Amino acid sequence: MAVKKKILVACGTAIATSTVVARKIEEELEKRGISVQLTQCKASEVPSKAEGHDLIVTTTFVSGAGDIPVIQTVSFLTGVGIEADIEKILSYIGGS
């Protein structure tokens, strides 16, 4: 069994926005038969929470992610550009 890829989802306060984004990512990946482990945090927490994740998806600028790839997008909130962002996510986590 393949190890689940880990995605850290960050927004300004880690209350509502990251929840919406995380659920949409999970929904879109499940449609493709891909299961991931999602964790949410505030953008300011990224430096302390990034380790061990394969990818960071954020709605705002983040720093301190080290070598972990970061996708900054609002497509999961607006609905515009979701497919392109899912393709980016898949390219980082090894999905097809």
Segments making up each domain of the chain, as ranges: 5-93
pLDDT at position 23, please? 97
pLDDT at position 54, please? 97
Per-residue b or e along 38-65, where b marks 16 or more CB atoms closer than 10 Å to that residue's CB? bbbbbbeebeebbeebbbbbbbeebeeb
pLDDT at position 69, please? 97
Report the CATH number of the 5-93 domain: 3.40.50.2300
Tokens at 28, concatenated:
């879109």
| CA separation, residue 81 to residues 51, 52, 85 (Å) | 28, 27, 6
Positions marked active-site: 11
pLDDT at position 36, please? 96
pLDDT at position 2, please? 65
Q: At which residue do the structure tokens 């898949």 appear?
A: 90
Per-residue b or e along 73-88, where b marks 16 or more CB atoms closer than 10 Å to that residue's CB? bbbbeeeeebeebbeb
Spell out the per-residue pLDDT of the chain, length 96, in tens. 567 999 999 999 988 999 999 999 999 999 999 999 999 999 999 999 999 999 999 999 999 999 999 999 999 999 999 999 999 999 999 875
